[in-house]
Structure 1
Amino acid sequence: MNFFRTVFSSFKIQLTSSLYRSVFVTCILVNPMFYVFLLYMMYSSKNENIGNVIILGSGLTTIWSSICFSSAGDIERERRGGTLEYLFASPSNFNLIYLGKVLANTLLSISGFIISFIIATFILNEPPVLANPIYFTVSFILTIFSFITFSLFLGPLFTLSRNSRAFINSLDYPIFILCGMVTSLDLLPGSLKIISYSLPPTWGISLLRESANGIENYSNFFVNSLILILIGLIYILISIVLQRKIDKQARISASLGVF
């Protein structure tokens, strides 16, 4: 019960506070509009299922941007506000507090898919065509899981760094490319593909595209789903270990504050 109470309390507070931040509102409302038209101009003459391309690309980039600039930025805001030390020292586990923040921001960021769908369908006249709706729904849930596990892994890194804002700004677009949100992974050199396939969202995005455009090999689809879940669990385990080490070190050195 303490687990759910902590996560829900953090979720509820974050849900309210995120909607009052202009940067976050821009990420979930304005960015999808920009990405839809940008992707439309990029792929309208090259892809038959342009509706799938622009909705998935715009929606996924919106989710990542909201995670990057909000869930990660929350650590920086807590530090600047002088409350990060109190969160660490509270009886509740900091991982659960951060999980509530991530869940709230992820839920709000899904609005990017809705905005992208409306623009693509009713303005650009390019509605999506889902070849496997049921598998697409499963893939969507797994993709959200992959983003959550990735953001939980980044949490301790942002907590450790006192210059996390610069880290956030430099991390946004590389993940777009490495995870294949807007471009094919086939365009990447082999060395970068190794990094790409070590990131949970890469597998989720691949499943989404495959289920939307038509699954050719169901065995591979299920194997890739299991790989995503396994990598996600590994990221969760790493985040727990890192957070415990940082928590211990922070209590010794008292180094979580601005100074």
Structure 2
Amino acid sequence: MRGLRAGFWFQWMTFRARIGSVTILLAIPFYVINFLSIVEVSGRTDLYAAVVLAPALSGIWSVALALGANSITSERGHGTLELIVSSPASVKAYLWGRMLASSAVGLLAFAESWLFAIAVVDLPPVIWHPAWFAAAIVGTAFATVSTSALLAAIAALSRAPDAQQNFLNYPIFVLAGIFTPVALLPVWVHPVSRLIFLSWAADLLRATLSPNAPTNPWLQLGAVITLGAIAFASGGWLISMIMTRLQKTGKLIAG
């Protein structure tokens, strides 16, 4: 637990110190206004839920990608990774703490989008199915933490982590159907979209804001948790492999 707390606290302090991290939260209101303008001009006020959820989910993902996914490479770049490995605290617990803090900051983006939308529009969204909404938020948080760990390990093994991060940002917004539901995307994209936990989370969260009973909520929630569990196991294994290699050779990647 000591390593987990240390990682969480360090990540939170990093977030406060890095202006680049704060700008992600500053951009959320502009996303809300842009999406709101689209639905207002088209006369589709029935898509108001998407206006609220799209910036919220994109904020969760962007923060996790910016803070959590580069945690190992940033430690190595600052010359502190070796010190962490040689410390008595659990390295994996420390890194998981950083991922957890990143996801917590991402949830701030979710709340910010929600509150800003309510403040500027006299049409507050109604959560018709609060139990499913809460379950979707918890499942999304778990999957985000797990995916951040997996991406952090992959970035550490990559020779071009910055290129990976750029690819995994805006393209994921489209593939995951954050604003435009996956059902409206080309059919050939669907198999790829369904490998992204955000696509299932977005569908379930949108369904909770409709008075109609959610369709297949157990399937959607189960998919989010399953994909999160796969990422959790894969990320944990890769991090262990990276730490073992670092202790033996002093290198993160071969060559």
TM-score (norm 1): 0.88
- Pick one of 5, 8, 12 that aligns with 1:8: 5
Deviation per CA, 1:60-96: give whole Å up to 9, x if none.
1111111111112333322221112323343433332
- Residue pair 1:72, 1:155 contacting (<8 A) in 2 also: yes
Distance 2:66 2:174 in 1: 17
- Pick one of 169, 173, 182 that aligns with 2:179: 182
TM-score (norm 2): 0.89
Structure 1 vs Structure 2: percent identity of aligned residues?
Answer: 27
The equivalent of 1:118 in structure 2 is 115
SS of aligned partner of 1:110: helix
Deviation per CA, 1:177-231: give whole Å up to 9, x if none.
121112221233334321221222222222111112245356x212322232222
Does residue 31 of structure 1 match 2:31? no
Q: CA deviation at 1:163?
A: 2.5
- Residue pair 1:6, 1:96 contacting (<8 A) in 2 also: yes
Distance 1:199 1:248 in 2: 29
> Structure 1 residues 217, 206: closer, same or farther in 2, change over 3 A?
closer
- Residue pair 1:49, 1:129 contacting (<8 A) in 2 also: no
Distance 2:71 2:233 in 1: 22
SS of aligned partner of 1:180: coil
SS of aligned partner of 2:183: helix
Report the count of equivalent residues: 253
- Give 5+ residue unaligned stretches, structure 1: none
RMSD: 2.2
Q: CA deviation at 1:21?
A: 0.8
Q: CA deviation at 1:98?
A: 1.7
Distance 2:198 2:142 in 1: 9
Please show how residues 1-259 of structure 1 align to structure 2 within 5 Å.
4-28=1-25, 30-44=26-40, 45-217=42-214, 220-256=216-252
Spell out structure 1 runs of 4+ moving beyond 4 A. none
> Structure 1 residues 98, 191: closer, same or farther in 2, change over 3 A?
farther
> Structure 1 residues 119, 227: closer, same or farther in 2, change over 3 A?
closer
